[in-house]
Every structure is written in C-alpha cells, then in structure tokens.
Structure 1
Amino acid sequence: MAQIKTDDTIKVHYTGTLADGTVFDTSRQRDPLEFTVGGGQLIKGFDEAVLGLNVGESTRVTIPAEEAYGPHREEMVLEVELSQFPEGLNPQPGQQLETETADGHPLSIRVVAVEGDRVTMDANHPLAGKELTFEIEVVSIA
C-alpha cells in the first residue's frame, strides 16, 4: 500500500476543533477535501500530519497558532468613523465585510463593535491566535 508523500494528491475527511472542543470546520457532511501535499494550499501542520499515512488511516494533530493562522496582531484591529462606510451600509458586530488592500488584494474584515459613530474592525483571520486540533482520515491517494 502506498504511503502519502509530498506532491501526492489526496482526499481526506477532517474535523477541526479549538482547545475548548468547539468544532470550527468539518468535511464530514460534504465531499472530502482534496489537495496536493506540500502544495501550500493548507496550513503547514495539516500537510505534515498526513505524510506517511495510508488510505483508511487516521491521525490527530494539534497545530500551534504560529503554524496555523499566526498570532492575533493588534495592528490589524482598527477603528474607523461610521461616515467612512458607503451610504446604506449599516455595519453590525460579527458582520464580515470585503475590501481591498492598497495593492488590490481582497481583504476580509470582521466588524467587532459599533459604538456611536465609531466602528471597530478586525482584519485578522478568525482563527488567528488559536491552537487548532484536527482529526484527519485519509480517503484516497491519487
């Protein structure tokens, strides 16, 4: 039986949880995740966790924040005036907004708080600063 190695295209089912056991993502109710191992499509620790596994095997890996989505960076939390938003847009806490960086790359920003005419927004990835645990089951190796 072939073991998974770098550059293999594989399919896996996974469930990702936070330190408190909260499930933040799973493929169990949909098609398995297909990716090329070492291709840079996923966080580093996920790629490394499947190396050497065979079809039907499972593993559990805990990935520190630094190897997942990085630390939560305070410089990516900003406050802006409500007047800076387009007319008709009423930002609400928890809302995801899309914008562009100065060089034209898409950027997702989450509204954290609205207080009077001030809106606090966070451009960190929602999982930044969090340790992630994945249960991974190999479904196929192409």
Structure 2
Amino acid sequence: MSEIKSRSIKENSEVLMHFSIRLADGSAVDSTKVDNKPAKFVMGDGSLTPGFEECLVGLSEGQSETFTLAPESAFGLPNPDNIHHLELSKFSSDVPAEVGTIISFTQPDGSEIPGIIREVIADSVTVDFNHPLSGQTLTFEVDVLEVLN
C-alpha cells in the first residue's frame, strides 16, 4: 500500500488555516479560532504580506508553527505620508473625532480606507492611515488545516 502524503504549501497553493497574531507583549490581536472560522487564501494573491508567505512555504497539512516577524516583514513601518490633518468640521455627531477611534474614509475613487484618530487639537484632527499593526513586531501562530494543489 502506498502512503498518503500530506501536501505542502508552495507558490499558488490554496490554503485553509487557523492563525493567531500576538503583539510583543503577548497580547492577542486577532485569531480565527475565536469564531472557529479558518482563513482561506491563495499564496501570492496579495492577501498576506510576502514575509508572512515566506514563513508558510513548505509547511504541510496538519502542521502547526509559530514565528515572529519584524515590522518590515509583517505590516511595514509607519509612513509619515499616511498621517493627515483634517478639519474638525469634517466630522459629525454621527462620526465624532475621538482619539483611538477607527473611522472608514471614502477616497476620491470611491474605495474606503480605515483611519485611526490619533489627536484632536482645537479645530485640527490628526488621522493615521497606516495599517494599525505597522511598526509592530508580531508573533504568528498557524495551524495548517488543508493545502489544495
């Protein structure tokens, strides 16, 4: 009898996996296990950072792995060009400018981008459009459930 060989992740593989993300202090940021809804994606489709994908290549079905990524390999470093100052009058009672709030802003092309309110001083609101996890060293825990193709 031939042995059934589990498939390994390679370029263009379709992958079903659970993952958890932790900050350097160990606090959990995100986990697919909370709602028991594993993530499904195709390697190279842009849904994961290249540094994260590099860590997944070669992992097999049923394998669990933990790896830590520096900001450059995770969600990047904060870009000062992604911090904007808006007039307080652009906000309303429905969408107040409160520090720490994440608000979805509509771009000129109609797409939406999240921004974090960092500071409110007089009539000026500082909005950070960098990824909320940019600049963070992150630990990823992955459980590879299935590898297709």
Normalised by the shorter chain, which TM-score bucket?
0.7 to 0.9
Compute the RMSD of aligned alpha carbons. Answer: 1.8
Aligned match of 1:18:
23
| Counterpart check, 1:80 vs 2:77 | no
TM-score by length of 1: 0.87
CA distance in 2, matches of 1:88, 1:135: 38
Give the 5 Å matches for 1:52-71.
52-71=58-77
Q: Secondary structure at the match of 1:65?
A: coil
Provide the C-alpha distance between the structure 2 equivalents of 1:136 and 1:103, rounded to a whole number of angstroms. 35
Structure 1 88/37 Cα, relative in aligned 2: closer, same or farther at 3 Å?
A: closer
Whole-Å Cα distance in 2 between the matches of residues 101 and 66 of structure 1?
Answer: 26
The answer to which of 81-90 and 3-12 deviates more is 81-90
Structure 2 gaps of 5+ residues are: none
**Alignment-derived partner of residue 128 in structure 2:** 122
- Per the alignment, residue 97 of structure 1 pairs with 103
Deviation, 1:9, is 0.8
Once the two structures are TM-superposed, the CA of residue 138 in structure 1 deviates from its matched residue by 0.6
Letter of the 1:9 counterpart: E
Change (3 A) 1:138 1:80: same
Alpha-carbon distance, 1:123 to partner: 0.9
- State whether residues 32 and 39 of structure 2, in contact with CA within 8 Å, keep that contact through their aligned partners in structure 1: yes
In structure 2, distance between residues paired with 1:112 and 1:95:
8
Paired residues, number: 142
Deviation at 1:45, TM superposition (A): 2.0
**In the superposition, relative to structure 1, how do residues 87 and 18 fare at CA in structure 2: closer, same or farther (>3 Å)?**
closer
* Same amino acid, percent of matched pairs: 32
Quote how far apart the aligned CAs of 1:86 are: 4.9
